[in-house]
Amino acid sequence: MLNKKSKTSSIIYHTFMIGLGFLMIYPILWMFASALKPEAEIFHNAASLIPSELRWENYTIGWEGYGRYGFDLFFKNSMIVTSFVVLGALFSSSLVAYGFARLQFKFQKILFACLLGTVMLPIQVVIIPQYILFHKIGWVNTFLPLIVPAFLGGSAFFIFLMVQFIRGIPRELDESAVIDGCSQFGIFWHIILPLCKPALITVTIFAFMWTWDDFFTPLIFLQDTKLYTVALGLRGFMDPDAMTAWGPLIAMSSLSLLPQFILFIFCQKYIVEGIATTGLK
């Protein structure tokens, strides 16, 4: 039974936590509410979370996009880029991690140190020569600079995460497979990979979230409006020279976050565990 003192402290606690929680998600609630407000109300009843009337056309107008390109195209582009990046991250992180975690080879220690070094390497240091390189081989203004690095172990973080995970799998499993005449690739494919499911899910979720979110790389490598991802499409909407159509802009902003929110709702357990155990993001 709760005594009186702990009951009061519990009330104070929950009041505080709910109050702070409200402040935390207010901007997001505000966005979803404002997406349905008439244009004038976004500014004249700015703090309100309840639209006086529901303007669903903010979504339909926003969806039309601008110029000849609608948001259906931007979503499709984002989907293509994100899917390939996820595939690339799964492919390279699992193979490379198996190599580092289970095999012995020359220069292993020094290469692993290089891998860890790249985890902390600021992208700004390599982005200029990368741009020049991709420019020279004609990849600028295609999806290739966004996708190909993912297949080449682009995010060292994921490899590191997989290495840590594979190291936790008992070695006896692969040893018995060796006795049965299984090749290294066979061990990787039939034994290790199925056991890595939780780590692979974590990689999938974070690769998806980060790529979907990413603004910097598409900004640098994509120029044609028809190649724009959702992030670039939104930015084109907030044209500083023209009058920004706030209603449709906010409506499209809220749509742009939906894939991440949906993923978060369904996979929050993996996300929280993934961050807690590996310190991602």
Partner 1 sequence: MNTSPQLGENQKVIQTITPKKRKLRNNLVAYAFISPWLIGFLFIIVGPMLYSFYLSFTSYDLLSAPRWVGFDNYVRMFTSDPRFWTTLKVTLIFVAIAVPLRLIFALTVAILMNMGHRGSGFYSLIYYVPSIIGGSVAVAVIWRQIFGREGALNAVLGWFNIEGYNWFAHPDYALSVLILLIIWQFGSPMVIFLAGLRQIPKELYEAASVDGANRFHQFFKITLPMLTPVIFFNLIFAIINGFLTFTQAFLITAGGPIDRTLLYALYLYQNAFEYFRMGYASALAWVLLLVIGLLTAIVFISSKKWVYYESEGGK
Tell me which residues in 209-268 interact with partner 1 (CB under 8 A).
209-210, 213, 215-216, 220, 230-231, 234-235, 238, 240, 246, 249-250, 253-254, 256-257, 260-261, 264, 268
Q: Which residues neighbour 203 within 8 Å (Cβ) at sequence distance 6 or greater?
A: 89, 90, 93, 158, 161, 162
- Minimum CB distance to partner 1 smaller for 16 or for 56: 16
182 is a contact residue toward partner 1 (CB under 8 A) = yes
Measured from the CB of residue 129, what is the shortest distance to partner 1 in angstroms? 4
- Minimum CB distance to partner 1 smaller for 85 or for 231: 231
276 is a contact residue toward partner 1 (CB under 8 A) = yes
Distance of alpha carbon 192 from alpha carbon 177, whole angstroms: 11
Contacts with partner 1 in 51-90 (CB under 8 A)? none
19 is a contact residue toward partner 1 (CB under 8 A) = no
Neighbours of 259 (CB within 10 A): 18
Contact 78, 255 (CB under 8 A): no
Q: What is the DSSP letter of 4?
A: H
Q: Could you say which of 39, 80, 164, 186 contacts partner 1 (CB under 8 A)?
A: 186
CA 52 to chain centre: 34
Distance of alpha carbon 90 from alpha carbon 193, whole angstroms: 11
Contacts with partner 1 in 128-147 (CB under 8 A)? 128-133, 135
163 is a contact residue toward partner 1 (CB under 8 A) = no
